[in-house]
Amino acid sequence: MGMTGSLACSLAVVGWLGFGAYQVEEAVWTSAAFAVQGDTLAPIQLLTPEARPRMTLIAAGGGEEDATSPAGAQAEAEQNTSKVLDIGPTPSGSTAVGALHAMLRRAGHSQWSTERLQGVLGHAFSFAMREGAGKVWQESNLDWGRFFDMLPEVGYRFQRFEATQRGSDRDFSKLKANAWAAVRASIDRGIPAAAWCPMSPEQKADGVKAYEWGLLLGYDESDETYTVRHRNISGGREAFTVRYDAIGHIDSVEWFCVLVYDGPEPVDAKGTHLTALRNAVAFANGTRFEPEDILYPADARGFAAYGLWREAIESGVAAPKHSQYHAGELRAFRGHAASYLRELVDIFPDVAADLEAGAAHYDRLIETSAKLHDFCAGYRDAEVFPEDTGVEAAAMVAAALQAERDAIARIEAALAVLDESP
């Protein structure tokens, strides 16, 4: 099920856009500002409260026992009451990628680098801008609204426990209990799970900023808590605990969503990467998503975003601190793009020259973005660029746009060959 069917139809999107998205955007800005940084696909499983995962007690000797027998009772008593994995989210600008990469790594799928995930999911090629070049949560639609669109292309099944709670008369306690059981079973197998905003309202009020995706890496049955690590909490190095039924109450519509790894699913790997390259071109042209499918608003995307950014600088309304943030984000995104194209050389050797050239253009864009980031740092306390510096900043944005156009041209050249291949 795509995000349009799962979120857009099941969530009160307008309410979320009015409040929840803003809350998350503020937290992301606070934590990341100025940091440089064919039918073989099975649908993601959406578990309803009635779809309780089956669990079997395993005796110490490895055999299955009836829990009502003496041996079964002893086995039950010997079950882990708590367990914490020594793992945290992988450092990444995207909390979705950081959590997903950590899960796949522990499941033994080391071929999925963060760069490859960023490329396939689309983060590496995305860029958006608002009028005036103000705050933009760059990862928004790909970490939140459109995250599930490309997830099946990665090639794994995930149990997805999901519910919208506010304004509903339904009792979601069974769903949360099912997620609690599935997460514990996964942790017992050595694989963490991921959850959206894994904190309680009380923790949020106390200043915990575990917005977006966090990693569920432990549990304690005695107090029914998850152990969580989140990028926004000491960079994911420090853990905290939260009751399993206390999460899912942060956004205005109170979205509960937990993902549990459920094994590999065969996919056409080359087809996945061809789709990712086509998506890269669509991102650049601003056509990756239909307007009605975009949950987080922006005024321009792709090439047009650069133009809007430059216009805001030249017209004297852009704040240097915001441009510094955009430049840092752009440098990080296109760093992933360059690395991803280079990873694809071994997968598509017939277009190696185009892929390498595209990566080199992204290198140029990265260098320009880094210069712009550092340039803006010198004026970050100013409300707008001083008149004599805005021209220089705008020129760097124009140079970054040209590098982007050159990189996309080489991706299009590669696709022209690949699309004609048998």
DSSP assignment of 16-65: HHHTHHHHHHHHHHHHHTT----TTPPPPEEE-TT-PPP---B-TTS-B-
φ, ψ for residue 162, nearest 5 deg:
-145, 140
Query: How large a percentage of the chain has pLDDT more than 70?
Result: 81
CA-closest candidate to residue 155, choices 47, 280, 42 = 42
Instruction: Kindly tell me if the per-residue pLDDT of 60 is higher than 70.
Output: no
419 vs 412, higher pLDDT: 412
For the chain, what is the mean pLDDT?
A: 83
Residue 291 DSSP code: G
Other Cβ atoms less than 10 A from the Cβ of 284: the count is: 24
**CA atoms of 185 and 256, how far apart (whole Å):** 19
Which runs of consecutive H residues, i.e. helices, occur in 68-172? 70-77, 95-106, 114-121, 140, 147-154
pLDDT digits (tens, 9 = 90+) for 130-160: 999 999 988 888 998 788 989 999 999 999 9
The pLDDT value recorded for residue 420 is: 82
Residues 303, 405 contacting (CB under 8 angstroms): yes
The pLDDT value recorded for residue 56 is: 24
CA-closest candidate to residue 325, choices 138, 143, 145 = 138
Residues 52, 279 contacting (CB under 8 angstroms): no
- For 246, counting Cβ atoms within 10 Å of its Cβ (0-12 exposed, 13-18 middle, 19+ buried), the class is middle
Residues 301, 128 contacting (CB under 8 angstroms): yes
The pLDDT value recorded for residue 48 is: 32
Among 22-36, 206-220, 308-322, 378-392, whose mean pLDDT is lowest? 22-36
DSSP-assigned states of every residue in 146-171: THHHHHHHHSEEEEEEEEE-TT--S-
**CA atoms of 257 and 293, how far apart (whole Å):** 20
Report, as an integer, the average pLDDT of 337-346: 98
Report, as an integer, the average pLDDT of 363-382: 96
The pLDDT value recorded for residue 247 is: 94
Token digits of residue 111:
């071929």
Instruction: Kindly tell me if the per-residue pLDDT of 279 is higher than 50.
Output: yes
User: pLDDT-derived band of residue 65, with 50, 70 and 90 as boundaries?
Assistant: very low
pLDDT digits (tens, 9 = 90+) for 281-298: 999 999 998 887 787 889
Other Cβ atoms less than 10 A from the Cβ of 243: the count is: 14
User: pLDDT-derived band of residue 50, with 50, 70 and 90 as boundaries?
Assistant: very low
**CA atoms of 159 and 164, how far apart (whole Å):** 17
Residues 396, 374 contacting (CB under 8 angstroms): no
The pLDDT value recorded for residue 18 is: 33
Cα dihedral sign for 29, 30, 34, 35?
negative
Token digits of residue 26:
């503020």
Instruction: Kindly tell me if the per-residue pLDDT of 302 is higher than 90.
Output: yes
One-letter identity of residue 113: S
User: pLDDT-derived band of residue 8, with 50, 70 and 90 as boundaries?
Assistant: very low
pLDDT digits (tens, 9 = 90+) for 240-260: 999 999 998 887 778 999 999
Residue 89 DSSP code: P
* Count of residues in the chain: 422
Instruction: Kindly tell me if the per-residue pLDDT of 305 is higher than 60.
Output: yes
CA-closest candidate to residue 191, choices 133, 271, 104 = 104
Q: Compute the CA torsion angle 69, 70, 71, 72 (nearest 10 deg).
A: 50
Residues 368, 401 contacting (CB under 8 angstroms): no
Residues 185, 53 contacting (CB under 8 angstroms): yes
User: pLDDT-derived band of residue 73, with 50, 70 and 90 as boundaries?
Assistant: very low
Token digits of residue 327:
């430049």
115 vs 296, higher pLDDT: 115
Instruction: Kindly tell me if the per-residue pLDDT of 10 is higher than 90.
Output: no
Report, as an integer, the average pLDDT of 29-38: 40
